[in-house]
Amino acid sequence: IVRDGRDVAVSLMHHFWRMAKDRGGIFDLSTEELRKRDAYLADPEGFLAGGGSIFTEERLRQMAVRWSRRVSKASLDGSRLFGRHYYQLRYEDLLQNPEKHLAEIFGLLGADTDEATVARCVEQNRFEKLAKRSKGHEDAGSFFRKGVAGDWKGVFTQKDREVYEDVASVALLDMGYTLD
């Protein structure tokens, strides 16, 4: 499953914030990253409306490089190593039509593809059930933060877009994403 790298970056930054060393976690954040975290968490809407970026440029470039390398390598190696047994799926497509894609994956694995089995799996793994709240309602402290695709569009600044695309535009396009 491939997810838009820009959404991955937003999600990962929130994960870093939740699991920062100053909160008993494992991630070492710079003073600037901690300042950004605290300002965002105090007033997410105000922070973003004021043009603030949740990223340092260095961190965003690092995330873009890693995403680009990993998805490109996985796609190339998966196809080469597994041929027709390789199934690549965009996360966004899975969200739009989970029944269709799960049935295809189950079929590839030789598992039950009947409608009831697929529907039960979809129901048991809905965001609302796992997060115990509606999609789109952010809980920055939760692993299940927001449950939507395309969140990066409301989070990335123009500079963030330029930085990310400078590094990962080829991989984004290769994976079927647009540069908007």
Distance, first Cα to last Cα, the chain: 22
The dihedral region occupied by 83, where left means phi > 0, alpha psi between -120 and 50, and beta the remainder, is: left
For residue range 69-88, list pLDDT tens digits in order: 999 999 999 999 999 899 99
For residue range 123-167, list pLDDT tens digits in order: 998 888 887 768 777 777 767 777 778 999 999 999 999 999 999
CA dist 121 and 119 (Å) reads: 5
Question: What mean pLDDT do residues 2-15 have?
Answer: 96
Lookup: tokens for 6: 């820009």
Alpha helices in 4-114 (DSSP H): 5-18, 31-42, 44-49, 57-82, 91-96, 98-109
Would you say 147 and 48 are in contact if contact means Cβ atoms under 8 Å apart? no
**Residue 144: what pLDDT?**
75
For residue range 45-61, list pLDDT tens digits in order: 999 999 999 999 999 99
CA dist 156 and 51 (Å) reads: 9
Q: What is the pTM of this model?
A: 0.89
